[in-house]
Amino acid sequence: MFRIITIVALALVCGTGMLQAAQKNGTKSAPAAGESKAAPVNLNTATAAQLQELPGIGAATAKRIIEYREKNGGFKKIEELMNVRGISESRFVKIKDRLTVSAPKS
């Protein structure tokens, strides 16, 4: 029992030391769950390159998003992204916190 407590204590100390060293060096730790480190991507104004920064969005899907936007006069709400071929509900759920829409251009 003592050995387990010692191992856990050492792990905590080492983890804390690594975090403090990273903070001193100016590096940031990974974002907490649900926290987004990048600015939201506006579906109505994003370039193909900006769309490809989203997890699971490649060049072909980015192209389809832009084609959908042009054909339909823009996105009115982020959920419309699921109307684009290749964007399943599960993929949408993974990226929805990183999406936004402005008023579509007229």
Q: Is residue 73 part of a domain?
A: yes
The residue among 32, 51, 35, 50 whose CA lies nearest residue 91 is: 51
pLDDT tens digits, 26-79: 444 444 454 446 789 999 999 999 999 999 999 999 999 999 999 999 999 999
One domain, residues 70 and 89: yes
Q: What is the DSSP letter of 83?
A: G
DSSP H or E stretch at residue 68: helix 59-72
Write out the residue range of the structural domain in which residue 73 sits: 41-100
Q: How far apart are CA 59 and CA 89, in angstroms?
A: 19
Q: Is residue 66 part of a domain?
A: yes
Q: Is residue 84 part of a domain?
A: yes
Q: How far apart are CA 49 and CA 59, in angstroms?
A: 8
- Looking at the predicted structure, is the pLDDT value of residue 102 above 80? yes
What's the confidence (pLDDT) of residue 38? Answer: 76
Q: Is residue 63 part of a domain?
A: yes
pLDDT tens digits, 78-94: 999 999 999 999 999 99
Collapsing DSSP to helix, strand or coil, 41 comes out as strand
Query: Is the pTM of the predicted complex or chain greater than 0.75?
Result: no
Quickly count helices (H) and strands (E) in the chain.
Answer: 4, 2
What's the confidence (pLDDT) of residue 7? Answer: 55
One domain, residues 20 and 70: no
One domain, residues 26 and 45: no
One domain, residues 23 and 48: no
One domain, residues 56 and 81: yes
Domain count for the chain: 2
Q: Is residue 51 part of a domain?
A: yes
Cα–chain-centroid distance for residue 68?
A: 21
What's the confidence (pLDDT) of residue 3? Answer: 58
Domain CATH number, residue 77: 1.10.150.320
